[in-house]
């Protein structure tokens, strides 16, 4: 995955969509080391009344991507997604009376973390790409003011930084379960995936250090490491998983260390 000194080579600017957001947008641009309101850009982080969003600029570009824990797909999944019967819940080890402390080491837009938090897990999230971390932090801030999901996002903590370094020098309670979802060349043809991959791949690339990520996770997790992969993708280089759970499009490789109780 591209680190922050690499994605800064991408032509990305910060824009305020309404005048009242000019000052916080300027502050965000300064924080990220990006230009403010420049017209020479391929992508833009836009701040407005709906929050922070990432867009590709140009006439044929897809729509914006933002983190929304309150409405849309995550709201539907929270209400009708199958609860603890979901594959990710089974992979992480949820069972009656068991809600492990989970580290989501590749947070992305926080969807998996939100699902686990909605099921009662305490979830810490690592995200090393600063633009994506900014989107995630904005989504958490907005969700914290909503009566329906405030209690859920209160169980979610964002840690900005390189997950490998953070895990190797971990501070605090050791996570029982670490969940990894390394960037992989997706073949999913859905409009949502195509839009997000088109936006994010120039910024983040692929996770070329996935084996080091797995190694650090196995050294830290007290009970298990769970790796999400496309169904037909090879396992990450390193120890073989204890077993796998396979769905229609994705697979969870489980590296078991001891039983959750």
Q: Strands, DSSP E only, in the chain?
A: 12-16, 35-36, 43-48, 51-56, 102-104, 123-127, 156-160, 177-180, 224-230, 243-246, 250-256
127 has binding-site annotation: yes
Contact yes or no for 91/226 (Cβ under 8 A): yes
Distances (CA, A) of 185 to 84, 182, 208, 237: 28, 10, 12, 16
181 has binding-site annotation: yes
Q: Could you give the strand order of the β-sheet that contains 177-180, starting from the edge strand earlier in sequence?
A: 156-160, 123-127, 102-104, 177-180, 224-230, 250-256, 243-246
Distances (CA, A) of 96 to 67, 85, 91, 250: 30, 11, 14, 25
Strand partners for 244: 253
Give the β-pairing of 177-180 and 35-36.
unpaired
111 has binding-site annotation: yes
Tokens 């914006």 appear where?
A: 64
Binding site, annotated residues for S-adenosyl-L-methionine: 111-112, 127-128, 181
The binding site consists of 111-112, 127-128, 181
């Amino acid at each position: 995955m591209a680190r922050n000194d690499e994605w800064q080579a991408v032509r990305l600017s910060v824009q305020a969509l309404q005048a009242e957001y000019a000052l916080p947008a300027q502050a965000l641009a300064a924080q990220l080391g990006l230009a403010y309101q420049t017209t020479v850009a391929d992508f833009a982080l836009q701040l407005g009344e709906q929050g922070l969003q990432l867009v590709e600029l140009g006439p044929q570009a897809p729509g914006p991507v933002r983190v929304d824990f309150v409405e849309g797909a995550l709201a539907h999944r929270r209400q009708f997604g199958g609860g603890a019967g979901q594959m990710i819940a089974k992979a992480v080890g949820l069972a009656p009376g068991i809600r492990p402390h989970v580290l989501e080491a590749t947070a992305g837009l926080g969807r998996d973390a939100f699902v686990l938090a909605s099921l009662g897990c305490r979830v810490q999230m690592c995200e090393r790409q600063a633009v994506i971390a900014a989107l995630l932090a904005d989504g958490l801030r907005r969700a914290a003011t909503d009566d329906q999901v405030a209690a859920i996002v209160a169980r979610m903590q964002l840690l900005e930084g390189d997950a490998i370094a953070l895990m190797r020098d971990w501070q605090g309670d050791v996570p029982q379960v670490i969940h990894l979802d390394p960037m992989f060349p997706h073949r999913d043809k859905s409009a949502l995936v195509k839009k997000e991959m088109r936006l994010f791949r120039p910024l983040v690339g692929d996770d070329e250090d996935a084996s080091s990520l797995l190694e650090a996770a196995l050294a830290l997790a007290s009970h298990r490491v769970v790796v999400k992969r496309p169904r037909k993708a090879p396992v990450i280089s390193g120890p073989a998983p204890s077993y796998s759970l396979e769905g229609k499009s994705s697979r969870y490789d489980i590296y078991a260390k001891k039983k959750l109780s």
